[in-house]
Structure 1
Amino acid sequence: MLELYQFELSQFSEKVRFILDYKGLEYKKIEVTPGIGQLEVFKVSGQRQVPVLKDGDTYIADSTEIALYLDSKYPEKPLIPSDGITRGQCLLIEEWADQSLGLNGRKAFMGALNHYPNFRTSFLPKNTPDIFKTFVSAFPSEVFNAIGIGLTLGTDILKVGEKTLKRDLEALTLILKNQPYLVGDKPTLADFTVAALTTIIKFPPVAYFDIPIDIEGKGIPGIADNSDYFTFFEWRDRLYADFRQPVDKSSSNFGGSSQDNKPTSIEID
């Protein structure tokens, strides 16, 4: 069985999970502990970052390389068109999405955590004590400027990221007003990449992430609830409904299940 070394809330891990579901491939999720778990991933793959896919004795790092590998090894339901023009468009959009939506989506997300205390507390488990919610709500906003981005970013850079993200969403909305997919009449790698990388901007209304927090339908204020992007998010959620397998939280890993498609953890003793 395929094994996916991942972070459950990673946009790029979600991109690979979406592709695996679309192709109907069974896989086991292995949740990597940030820091020490990444050293274990490095030992087996030579790569500290996730996602990393294991197929037998073969390890493939990077979400794009994983997609290309899966399309070559498991060609049924291809991700990349064979026609020259649409193939080029697909690969170009995928690369753009990785670079622009991936980074600017995280900047906008961190900016929202920075600016909206209620947005921060909405990502806490339901049984979180009120005193801890108050502490998180009052936490100094400067701390959130760089968390999860891997760079030291100031408020101005986060604002630029949000502005760029809005332009990206406007462009995607215009493209999708009169066609079912970004490229051609079938879903491609471009669609799954864009869909996965926009989850933290506005999470789909159905549970697709195996975490002990209800994040369904939550999104960045001012973007997720902006009617200008309604067409885009409606398209994105329809793509999820058609091709992504939802999580049954009642039997999830956090509920005590040991099913293979639920994340297990990896650490170093």
Structure 2
Amino acid sequence: MLELYQFELSQYSEKVRLILDYKGLEYRKIEVTPGVGQLELFQKSGQRQVPVLKDGETYICDSTEIAFYLERKYPDRPILPSDPREKGLCLMMEEWADESIGLKGRKAFIGALNKNQNFRTSILPKNTPDFLKTIVGALPGDMLDILGAGIGLGGDAVKDAETGLKQDLEALCLLLQNRPYLVGNAPTLADLTVAALSVLIKFPEGNYLAIPEEFQGKGIPGLGDNSTYEPFFTWRDRLYEQFRQPLTAKDANVDSPPKNIDID
């Protein structure tokens, strides 16, 4: 069985999970403990970050490389169009989403965490030690903002990310007007990437992520709750209903985190 080394709230791990579900492939999730170490997986795969997919004795790193590998190895339900122009648009949009929605979404999400202590602790992995939860919850948002500024995650960076995401979401709403998918008449890697990378902007409706139930369908203030972008999130959630397997269907295939690796 395929094994996915992942972090539950990594959008790039979610991108791989959505592709796996779309292709109907069985896999086991191996949750990792962020920030503790990465020696074991690095020795096996040469990669410290998730997601990493293991197929037999083969390790594939990086969500885009995993997508291309799955398309070659498991061609049923293709995610790359056969038409050259559509394939080009698909690849371009996938790359754009990785570098735009993925990175800016993470910055905006971290900004929301800085402002809400309860939210911060509630989404930590279940196996996080209680003392670490206490420390994380007790940190003042102002301190996190100062610390984040040193690594490009301060208040100004968060505001810039939110501004950029507003333009991205508006563009996506326009692209999806009277169209079922972003490229062509069937789901492609572009659709699956954009949908998955948006989960931190607004969590999907339904039990797809291991988060408290009250967070389902909730999002970053000003983005996830803005009616202007509702057409996009309605499209995204419809895609999830059609192709993403609910979390309960995979409970038996989730391993506790035996690996200590960094997250992407």
Specify the TM-score bucket, using the shorter chain as the normaliser: 0.7 to 0.9
2:258 maps to: 266
Deviation at 1:117, TM superposition (A): 5.8
Measured after TM superposition, the shift of residue 218 of structure 1 is 1.6
CA–CA separation in structure 2 for the residues paired with 1:62 and 1:38: 16
Provide the rounded CA distance (Å) in 1 between the counterparts of 2:169 and 2:34: 30
Aligned to 1:143: 144
How far apart are residue 33 of structure 1 and its match?
1.9
Q: Are residues 1:103 and 2:95 paired?
A: no
- In the other structure, the counterpart of 1:44 is 44
Instruction: Provide the residue aligned with 2:128 in structure 1.
Output: none
Distance 1:212 1:178, change over 3 A: closer
Residues 176 and 232, structure 1, Cα contact 8 Å, conserved in 2: yes
Which has the higher mean CA deviation after the structures are superposed, 155-164 or 29-38?
Answer: 29-38
Change (3 A) 1:120 1:42: closer
SS of 1:201's partner is coil
SS in structure 2 of the partner of residue 171 of structure 1: helix
Map of 2:129 onto structure 1: none
Tell me the alpha carbon deviations over residues 196-247 of structure 1, each in whole angstroms, 9 at most, x when there is no partner: 1100110011011135664311211111111110100000000000000011
Q: 1: CA distance between counterparts of 2:205 and 2:169?
A: 19
Shift of 1:36: 4.0
Q: Corresponding residue for 1:182?
A: 182
Q: CA 1:213/1:139 → structure 2, altered by over 3 Å: closer, same or farther?
A: farther
Q: 1:121 to 1:264 in 2, by over 3 A?
A: closer
Over 3 Å counting, the alpha-carbon distance change for 1:175 and 1:136 in structure 2 is same
Q: Are 1:124 and 1:213, in contact at CA under 8 Å, matched by a contact in 2?
A: no
Aligned to 1:14: 14
**Further displaced range: 204-213 or 67-76:** 204-213
**Aligned-pair Cα RMSD in Å:** 2.7
Q: Which moved more, 1:213-222 or 1:82-91?
A: 213-222
Post-superposition offset of 1:58: 0.7
Specify the code of the residue in structure 2 equivalent to 1:162.
E
Under a length normalisation based on structure 2, what TM-score does the superposition of the two structures give?
0.87
- CA, structure 1 residues 264+114, in 2 after alignment: closer, same or farther (shift >3 Å)? closer
Change (3 A) 1:144 1:248: farther
User: SS state of the match for residue 248, structure 1?
Assistant: helix
Look up the SS of the partner of 1:28 in the other structure: strand
List per-residue Cα deviations over 1:169-206 (Å, max 9, x = no partner).
00001101110000000000001100111001100110
Deviation at 1:74? 0.3
Note the alpha carbon deviations across 1:93-122, whole angstroms, 9 max, x for none. Answer: 000000000110011112222345675577
In structure 2, what is the Cα distance between the partners aligned to 1:194 and 1:152? 23
Render the CA deviation track for 1:4-63: whole Å, top value 9, x for unaligned: 111111100000000000000000111122234522211110010110001111110000
C-alpha distance in structure 2 between counterparts of 1:115 and 1:165, whole Å: 19
SS in 1 for 2:59: strand
Q: Which residue of 2 aligns with 1:128?
A: none
Change in CA separation of 1:184 and 1:203 when aligned onto 2, cut-off 3 Å: same
**Alpha-carbon spacing, 1:47–1:213, altered in 2? closer, same or farther (3 Å):** farther
2:222 matched to which residue of 1? Answer: 222
Specify the code of the residue in structure 2 equivalent to 1:9.
L
Query: How far apart are the structure 2 equivalents of 1:12 and 1:266?
Result: 20
Distance change in 2, residues 1:27/1:145 (3 Å): farther
**Would you say how many aligned residue pairs link Structure 1 and Structure 2?**
253
User: Structure 1 length normalisation: TM-score?
Assistant: 0.85
Task: Give the equivalent residue in structure 1 for 2:194.
Answer: 194
Amino acid at match of 1:21: D
Provide the C-alpha distance between the structure 1 equivalents of 2:215 and 2:146, rounded to a whole number of angstroms.
21
CA-to-partner distance for each residue in 1:158-177, whole Å, 9 max, x for gaps?
Answer: 10111001100000011011
CA distance in 2, matches of 1:9, 1:146: 21
In the other structure, the counterpart of 1:4 is 4
CA contact (8 A) 1:146 1:152 kept: no
Native 8 Å contact 1:210 1:263 kept in 2: no
